[in-house]
Amino acid sequence: MDSPPHDSSQDPQPGLPAVQVVHEEASREPILTLPFALTAYILLLAVIHLRVLLPPELENWTIDVFGFIPKRYDSSLLNLQIPGGTGAKVWSFVTYSLLHANLTHLGFNVLWLLPFGSALARRFGAVRFFLFLAVTAAAGALAHLVTHEHAVAPMIGASASVSGAMAAAIRFAFVRGSFLSFNRSDADTAARVPALPLSRALRDGRVVGFLAVWFGVNIIFGVGAIGIDSETTSVAWQAHIGGFFAGLLLFTLFDPVPRARNDAADASSQDVSDRI
C-alpha cells in the first residue's frame, strides 16, 4: 500500500530539537490541577456555606445541630436543651468541620488545603482521603472536648482536618521527587514517593523546622475553627493540634504506597547531595 501523503505542516519547527517541542507543548498544561476528591470536598464546603443565606434563626439552628458543642456531653446538665439530641453527639464530631463562620474563614482553610490536600488526595484516592479528613476532624473535636468540657459555644471549621492533611503530607513532602523537594517530579509522581518512617522524618531538619513553625503559628496566633458568638469568639488551637497529631500518627494506616526502607529513605531524602 502507498503511504498517505505527508503533511509537512505537522512537523516540528525546522532546527528545533524534538525535546524542545515536547517541552513547549507540556508548558501549555495548567499550572495547578486539583484531583477530583479535593475538588469535590471544596465544592461541598462551598455549597454548605450557602447556609448563611438562611434566615438567622434557621442558620443558628443549623450551627447548634451540626456544630461541635462540648456542653452536649456534660452529664451534670441534664436539663440543658441543645438542638440535635443524641444523634448530634455522634455526627457533630465530623459535621462541625464542614461549617465555616464566614468567607474569610472558609477561604483561609481552602488556601492551606490546596497544596497539602492536593498531594494527599492524589496519594490516597477519594475514599481514603475522605475517611482521613473525617478521622482527623474527629480527633480535633476530641482534643477540643478534653480542653473545653464545659464550653457552650459551638466550634466549627475544617482546620483540624487541614492540619491533619498538612501533618500527613510532611511524611513524604521532603523526599526526593516529592512536592517540597528541590528535585520535584510531576504532580502524580511527587504525591506517590515512598514516605519516610516517622522516626526518620523526625530527624530531618526540614520536618522539624516545619513542625516548629506550625506549632508556633497555631499557639501564638491561631486561625481556623472558632466559636460563633461574636463576643466569645476564640481560636480552637487545641483542635488544630489534635487533628495534626492524628494526621502525623495515623498516616500509615491510610497510605497505600509501600514504605521505604530506612537506608533508602536516608538516600532519597538528600535533595542536594548531587549538587555538592
- Residue 223 pLDDT level (bands cut at 50, 70, 90): very low
User: How does the average pLDDT of the chain come out, rounded?
Assistant: 79
Higher pLDDT, 190 or 183: 190
- With 50 as the cut, is the pLDDT of residue 168 above it? yes
Contact at 8 Å (CB) between 194 and 175? Answer: yes
* pTM, rounded to two decimals: 0.77
- With 50 as the cut, is the pLDDT of residue 49 above it? yes
In 3D space, the residue among 254, 249, 251, 220 whose CA is nearest the CA of residue 237 turns out to be 220
| 234-250 mean pLDDT | 89
pLDDT in tens, 61-81: 999 999 999 988 887 655 667
Residues 6 or more apart whose CB falls under 8 angstroms from that of 147 comprise: 238
How many Cβ atoms sit within 10 Å of the Cβ of residue 129? 23
| 12-25 mean pLDDT | 42
DSSP code string of 7-70: -GGGSPPTT--HHHHHHHHHTTS-S----HHHHHHHHHHHHHHGGGGS-HHHHHHHHHHHSB-G
Helix 126-147 / helix 159-169 crossing angle, nearest 10 deg: 120
pLDDT in tens, 107-156: 999 999 998 999 999 999 999 999 999 999 999 999 999 998 888 899 99
- With 90 as the cut, is the pLDDT of residue 228 above it? no
What's the sign of the alpha-carbon dihedral 204, 209, 210, 214? Answer: positive
Contact at 8 Å (CB) between 192 and 124? Answer: no
